[in-house]
A and B are shown apart, each in its own frame.
Chain A
Amino acid sequence: MIAELFLSGIVVWLAGAAASLALWRQPALARRVACGAALGGSLLDLAASSAALFSASPVFIGLPFGNPAFTWAVRLDPLSAFFSVTLAALAAAVSLYSFGYLKEMEGRRNLGAFGFFFNLLLLSVALVFTASNAFFFLVAWEVMALAAYCLVSFEYEKKKARDAGVLFLIMSHAGTGLLLIAFLVLASACGSLDFSSFHLLASRMTPLQQGTVFLLFLFGFGVKAGVVPLHIWIPEAHPVSPSNVSALMSGIVLKTGIYGMARVFFDFYGAPPLWMGTVVLALGVASALLGVLYALMEHDLKRLLAWHSIENIGIILIGFGAALMFRALGQANLAALALIAGLYHTFNHAMFKGLLFMGAGSVVEATHTRNMEKMGGLIRLMPVTALCFLVGAVAISGLPPLNGFVSEWLTYQALLAGFGTTQSLTRLMFPIAGSLLALTAALAAACFVKAFAIPFLALPRSPEAADAREASFTMRAGMTILAVGCVALGLGATWFVPVFDPITQQTLGVRASSALVMAHGWALSPGRPHGGTISLAGMALFFLVAGAAFALPLALRWRRRTVRGPAWDCGLPGLTADNEYTATAFSKPLRMIFSVLYRPRREIQAEYEVSPYYPSAIRFESEIEHPFEKRLYNPLRDRIMAAANRMKGIQAGSINLYLAYIFITLILLLLFGVRG
């Protein structure tokens, strides 16, 4: 039954891709077919993978063709099923949203092609999560990269979109190259490409091989996940793509890297050496902190969200790194706690980041700009979008009683417990990671005060923002589903935690949920007696009761004594949008405090007519430095370009010369073959 559901999901996506391409001359129809198929496929996939998550044994679905070495087969074990559920839940909401979102593009852009790549992307991500052998995995991985490339560069007439697409493609292929080598090393060790034969394989290799394979996988998957310092494509690619694509890219395409790491670290490795966990933990902390610090400096709404993706990937990796360390230290229960924290955050991030990108998409569509400094006051014109965005903002800031708090709390608990697991100085890593995670979370809250307040509150800062219109019904529906998801995953944490049991059973051999869930499902604990509890449902109940019993009646009573008046304007003739704090001004204190990192540069040009005290025009420019681009990637790119220039000489364009090259290559290969 699961196999039929899964395969019909795949078929619906394939059919949707083909049909929307065929219908490209009728944009309205193509849009409906594409989004309908994406939605249908997602729902089928959701049904299949959530059933597979709880099925007693992994579901294996093989297609009756291919050759024995390269089988076209998928396997839905708990880990695959969990990531598939994440994909399907997000994709369903995004597909619904796309019905309305794409309408504006009708007649202006080729929606047939969009529908083709959109369905292809969903299909390929579903296969990446479920492929049962390395060959099939890499094929799906490449299809995903190509589909994502086409969607990122969909507005191809803009140079930024083309550049971002190319950057993504180059980075992605560099990563794939590393993965290819890593898989070949594994395959040569066991003589098969099947994932099931890789199980615990890495631990049987020599330490050098183990370490090399680990680093290859870490950086290969790290590119896709956006781990610092491999993150540079994310803030370029997310903002320029259409917002429904950004939601998918951030919510789920980045998670393919996370899936890959989970698969390798927890399935292929048995008990990895301690240094691997510390590397992952350190990278996680660096990504989280740098991601949020650069997000704070953005006033492009979608770029800001893109930097937050890097931050959240970092938080997920803190959980994974701690889990790896616990495994090395022989603490299976703690490893399960840390793994659950990471996976919980993976799911949460898909929910709230998808929500925020869709909210940003609605705002950008209404105001025709991504620049927050030109928005403002949208809460009155777009009330539903504003409420959904607020839910997402509270959730991503890790504040109770929403889902972000649960996963961050679990991460803190894992780090706290880690301190006692070893006597070496490595133990200091846990509290330091914890305190930097606290800094990250607080900075994220600061950033989302800005990201919500500047576009949605106070007065509109541009005529476009003053004329904004609320998003269409399907767009609001898509956002509302994810907003409800964020609330439900927070309040219902104790009902969600048992979902991880099959995964921890499969990878670590423990089931943690019975220890984690306490007080008849009301409270969550870190899995040890008297370790502290939280109950988000309890907190929500408190707020509800207090709100209904006191806030509502009193607010209604005080309403009679309320008058509306102008805000205090210091005696000036009324406040205008020019008096409002801007996004740049909001983050100014942090720009000054962290100036060592940002190296801000600013330029002020003023023109005077009468006296130096009354400038007639002022131009202000402020920018910060991005050290990885400047110090790592730009020199690297220049080297490669220089090397390519030097090699240009061998490309003379003469057919005889090329035939000679082929001949020489053949001879060399023959010699190599004879000697080998």
Chain B
Amino acid sequence: MMERLTENAAQLFLLLVLSPLVTGVIRTLKARLQTRRGPGILQPYRDLQKLFSKGMVIPETASWIFTATPWVVFFSTILAGLMIPMVAAEAPLGLFGGVLAVIYLLGLGRFFLALSGMDSGSSFGGLGSSREMTISALAEPAMMLAIFTVAIGAGSTGLTEIAGAAIGQNWRFLAPSQMFAFAALSLVLIAETGRIPVDNPDTHLELTMIHEAMILEYSGPYLALLEWAASIKQLVLMTLLINCFWPFGLQPTWFGFGAVEGIGWLLGKLLLLSCAIVLLETMNAKMRLFRVPELLAVAFTLGSLALISTFLF
């Protein structure tokens, strides 16, 4: 019991502290690649601190949904984050749910975020909600196929079991089914975290924004909660991707010196994935909204190939 609590506390700490860092690293790397200086790795922390100390303006037209949403989004993302293996293969809250629960918890957050976008009565919010729900729905089949591929391999939807099955098979990611599933899930990750070429997290141009449009009316601490939750969601999905496919350095348990090594490996792998994201974002322009389904169709095809390769190769 005590051990479980310690694991949960440690992972909670990692989620809360590491997530703005990942956002900061991606922004800085991107700036450097575009020969800009960038605001520095620690800027997301400063942003959060600034927002938390500010006052708030809530639209007159908004209802209690508007104030409940940041909490629902924040807590459901945290809960999802506690269900994934980060440092040790054992997911701290694995009993509460596996990969399906993670996806549906993120879905719960998205549901409320979309509602709050509509709550203020401004057309930007509705625009963001409509696009967000459309894109996430289209990303779902590809994601489920990739998850089925992974879950069939491990015989389980529990992430502890999935990561456990991957431990000791460090080169398994070279198998065709794993590669296809990885590619499919990466495309889904881009769509779900709202990165280029699907959405641009840095823009406030109404023609292109999706996630930013939904949270346009938020300010102060609630905006901070939503930004933080978005960072955590990105960290959760990135960790899910790397730990399911590259189990390098994943420890059997959270305790002992291994944990430090595990954190080191996690940071290294996150940095590698961040570099890939940065490269992708810099090399591509944002797609037109109605080209996104084509990208997700590619993801779906990759997912199907992954599934078929599980018994062909």
Chain A interface (Cβ within 8 Å of chain B)? 377, 379-380, 394, 397-400, 405, 409, 412-413, 416, 419-420, 427-428, 431-432, 434-439, 441-443, 445-446, 448-449, 452-454, 456-459, 519, 522-523, 526, 528, 530-535, 538-539, 542-543, 546-547, 551, 554-555, 558, 561-569, 575, 577, 579-581, 585-590, 592-593
Contact = CB atoms under 8 A, between A and B. Distances in A.
Interface string B54-81: 1111111111110100010001101100
B53 to A, nearest CB: 9
B95 A564 contact: no
B289 A589 contact: yes
Given A562-B55, A564-B57, A439 B97 contact: no
Contacts of B62: 567
Interface of B: 54-65, 67, 71, 75-76, 78-79, 93-101, 104-105, 107-108, 110-111, 114-115, 118-127, 129-131, 133-134, 136-145, 148-149, 151-152, 155-158, 161, 216-217, 220-222, 289-290, 293, 300, 303-304, 307-308, 311
Contact of A435 (B125, B141, B216, B220): B141
B144 A457 contact: no
A377 B217 CA distance: 17
Given A543-B75, A563-B56, A581-B125, A568 B144 contact: no
Interface SS of chain B: helix
A452 B118 CA distance: 10
Nearest to B103: A438
A409 B137 contact: no
Contact of B140 (A441, A546, A581): A441
Contact of A420 (B130, B152, B217): B152
Contacts of B300: 435
B71 A567 contact: no
Contacts of A409: 100-101, 104
Contacts of B56: 558, 561-563
11 contacts: A394-B111, A432-B304, A435-B144, A438-B143, A523-B96, A538-B96, A547-B75, A551-B75, A563-B57, A566-B60, A590-B134
Given A434-B144, A449-B115, 12 more contacts: A397-B111, A416-B151, A435-B300, A446-B114, A456-B63, A531-B155, A533-B97, A561-B56, A565-B60, A566-B60, A567-B217, A593-B134
B114 A593 contact: no
Per CB-CB distance, the 9 closest pairs between chain A and chain B, nearest first, are A581-B126, A458-B121, A532-B157, A532-B158, A453-B118, A446-B133, A442-B137, A438-B144, A567-B59
Contact of B95 (A397, A459, A538, A579): A538
B293 A458 contact: no
Query: Which of A452, A519, A593 has most chain B Cβ within 10 Å?
Result: A593
Contacts of A405: 104
Given A399-B107, A542-B75, A568 B216 contact: yes
B221 A554 contact: yes
B126 A542 contact: no
Interface SS of chain A: helix
A452 B59 CA distance: 19
Query: Which of A398, A539, A592 has most chain B Cβ within 10 Å?
Result: A539
A588 B303 CA distance: 27
Nearest to A379: B63
B107 to A, nearest CB: 6
Given A397-B111, A431-B148, A564-B59, A519 B123 contact: no
A109 B296 CA distance: 53
A416 to B, nearest CB: 6
Contacts of A432: 304
Contact of B78 (A431, A435, A546, A558): A546
A579 B137 CA distance: 26
Contacts of B136: 442, 446
B75 A546 contact: yes
A567 B125 CA distance: 10
Nearest to A589: B134
Contact of A580 (B64, B75, B121): B121
Given A457-B118, A593-B290, A449 B133 contact: yes
B57 to A, nearest CB: 4
A465 B158 CA distance: 47
A439 to B, nearest CB: 4
A409 B143 CA distance: 15
A395 to B, nearest CB: 11
Contacts of B61: 377, 458-459, 567, 575
Contacts of A577: 121
A590 B137 CA distance: 10
B89 to A, nearest CB: 12
B310 to A, nearest CB: 8
B45 to A, nearest CB: 19
B98 A534 contact: yes
A585 B126 contact: yes
A530 B158 CA distance: 7
